């Protein structure tokens, strides 16, 4: 199994631009999670899906953040407009039955 796949691995953008992060979960997993990790705040859960349906988006910091899961094999996290404080590593993870999450390699986002 290829594991969780994320793209791009690195993204550098200017403030105000739209950023789209992509994730392909492990085949057969029914949960998908988006996390953000910074030195100051650690690992934060942004949103998660069960069977493509958003269950809890209470961690999404602002309306500038949105996430979709149009099918079982693909999810996006969009930031529009981006701000320097959004700079972080964004992880996607998937699991079966909601436990034992397996993380992707992450996307390192830098907003200048």
Which residues sit at the interface with other proteins, rule CB under 8 A?
A: 33, 42-43, 45, 48, 50, 55-56, 91, 98-106
Q: How far apart are CA 51 and CA 30, in angstroms?
A: 5
Strands 53-56 and 5-7: unpaired
Nearer to other proteins, 5 or 72 (CB): 5
- Minimal distance, residue 81 CB to other proteins, in Å: 27
Nearer to other proteins, 74 or 102 (CB): 102
CA 9 to chain centre: 12
- Minimal distance, residue 33 CB to other proteins, in Å: 8
Give me the helices (H) in 24-88, please.
none
């Amino acid at each position: 199994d290829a594991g969780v796949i994320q793209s791009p691995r690195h993204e550098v953008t200017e403030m105000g631009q739209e950023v789209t992060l992509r994730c392909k979960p492990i085949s057969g997993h029914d949960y998908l999670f988006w996390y953000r990790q910074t030195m100051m705040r650690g690992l934060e859960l942004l949103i998660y899906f069960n069977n493509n349906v958003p269950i809890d988006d209470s961690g999404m910091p602002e309306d500038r953040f949105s996430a979709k899961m149009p099918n079982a094999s693909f999810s996006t996290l969009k930031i529009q407009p981006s701000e320097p404080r959004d700079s972080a590593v964004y992880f996607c993870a998937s699991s079966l039955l909601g436990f034992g999450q397996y993380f992707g390699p992450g996307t390192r986002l830098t907003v200048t």
